[in-house]
Amino acid sequence: GCNFEKALEWTKNFDPDRITQYESARYRNYDETYDYSNLDVYSRMYPALSEIQEYLDKDGSKPFLLVEYCHSMGNGPGDFEDYFQMIQDNDKMCGGFVWEWCDHAIAHGIAENGKTIYAYGGDHGEEIHDGNFCMDGLVYPDRTVHTGLLEYKNVLRPLRVAAADLANGWITLKNHLDFVSPKGRIDIKIVLSGGGQPEETVLVPAEELDIAPRGTATLHVPARAGGCCTLYALSAADTPWGKRGDVLGMEQVGAPEFVPQIQQRAAQTLRVSGEKERYVTICGDDFVYRYDSMTGAFAAMAVRAKEMLLAPMAYNIWRAPTDNDRNIKNEWNRYLYRYAVSRGMGTQVQKHDDRVEIETAVHISSMSICLLAQGTVRWTVFADGRIACQADMRREAGVPVFPRLGLRMMLPADYDKLRYFAYGPLESYIDKRQASLLGWHADTVETQYAHPLRPQESGSHYGARSLTLHGAQGALRIEGAGFGFSALNYSQEQLADVAHDDELTREERCVLCLDMAQRGIGSNSCGPELPACYEIADHIQWQVMLDPLAE
């Protein structure tokens, strides 16, 4: 209105060099004419990428400033890279400010389990509050880092690969520093692997890395057709903010080589019973699997006389809502996704010399509401104990998008070590994996959960080809062309029901979620809706191989 226009006019006359912006200038009465001449930039909080593009295409008379974006609440945000690309691709974009630096919970001593007690809105008896909406930072209250800060750090890496041809031995780097060359500042380490050759490391010292600000340069590396390159930018000297050798950024070119770990073993004598009954039992010399035709999944899996499943295997469409799920979770609750059940609508069993094939038409429904998804799942039990799963599922029209779609298995607590080929070692999702590398990683189940202060979905890994969970008497190995997983000591139900991290209780089991797909993270706690490309597809075809008798 006119008061702001007069104030801006005075400001510009008093201090002409000061940059001015007013986010609420976008709210207007189209019956009035406004004076924007004293505003230097067009500014917005949390616009969708489509809204930014519309402004750039239709107006663009002033540079675009993101006053706030990528709301960093809980497990998130998941859209750093998308906004970075938007900012880099158009000179009318002048960047923005991530909301925000730190969580504003208040420490209230130490709980009996040794964790710090952090309080937020409503924890002090106040009636009017915003709950945990004060906890939207890139670091915890004690300034230890969230995985979101590490994601942001690598999105803002100083050097990026602009083009590469490993077969002919060259990589073109772009310098994203605005004012200086990386010469004398950044060492480059390049690790070449795969392509039928031994791993090789190439070092490019900082004195040889002369790239003009915003410019590009080409590095020559040993040719490696079909290989993978992992490039690390390292600090070449001690600085006020870090040490020499600190990783400033990393990037992969090509896919690292994956060699399947599951191998066919000597066949055992297969015995099958109950083909026409609810439970179909498949036995080998050292395994007994009990399939439940009513649910379309295994109710029990005994390996070497020890039961592997603490509860029947179940289809899984729900996750403990993240802070960024705060809007869509109302739809999930309305359709009772948490309590969804599967029903077998007809099962066919075929016995062969080397395998048993079980095919079930599966319906996934919310109790008392409606059918959510349906499809066909084919299980093949091989004579050496391996189990192949092929699923073809389609979400019903009109029901909300799923948080995830997959299987859940409750394993004994001694399955406490994991080795996997996926994006890691940090938690990773379809839209939150810039700080992770695709390849082999090893860890413990205990360290998988990232412990956001308000419990929620955390600790998943995207793009998996192989996962092995090691137990006291053996291992469970899973392989597929691409799946997601989490292996935690906390169930989704506990993560959803508990309000504070210090109140979590470690469960005496390993909760394994095998995901055909899981929706992205986004930043919809305050930002735009999750882009459609990061939602789960309506129709999913998926296959994995399980080896409960892995060494």
* Interatomic CA distance for residues 485 and 466, integer angstroms: 10
Q: Report the predicted TM-score, pTM, of the whole model to 2 decimal places.
A: 0.95
Task: pLDDT band for 461, please (50, 70, 90 cuts).
Answer: very high
**pLDDT tens sequence across 108-148:** 999 999 999 999 999 999 999 999 999 999 999 999 999 99
Q: Is the pLDDT of residue 409 over 90?
A: yes
**pLDDT tens sequence across 192-228:** 999 999 999 999 999 999 999 999 999 999 999 999 9
- Higher-scoring residue by pLDDT: 34, 311: 311
Q: Which residues contact 169 (CB under 8 A, 6 or more apart)?
A: 220, 221, 222, 223, 224
**pLDDT tens sequence across 64-118:** 999 999 999 999 999 999 999 999 999 999 999 999 999 999 999 999 999 999 9
pLDDT for residue 150: 98
pLDDT for residue 40: 95
* Interatomic CA distance for residues 23 and 71, integer angstroms: 17
**pLDDT tens sequence across 323-371:** 999 999 999 999 999 999 999 999 999 999 999 999 999 999 998 899 9
pLDDT for residue 100: 96
pLDDT for residue 472: 87
pLDDT for residue 66: 96
What is the average per-residue pLDDT within 470-477? 92
As a whole-number percent, the residues of the chain with pLDDT over 90 amount to 94
Torsion sign, CA atoms 121, 123, 124, 125: positive
pLDDT for residue 29: 76
* Interatomic CA distance for residues 484 and 542, integer angstroms: 11
For 495-545, give the DSSP string. HHH-SSGGG----SEEEEEEEEEE-----TTTSPPPPGGGSPPSEEEEEEE
pLDDT for residue 28: 73
Residue 262 and residue 386 in contact, taking contact as beta carbons nearer than 8 Å: yes
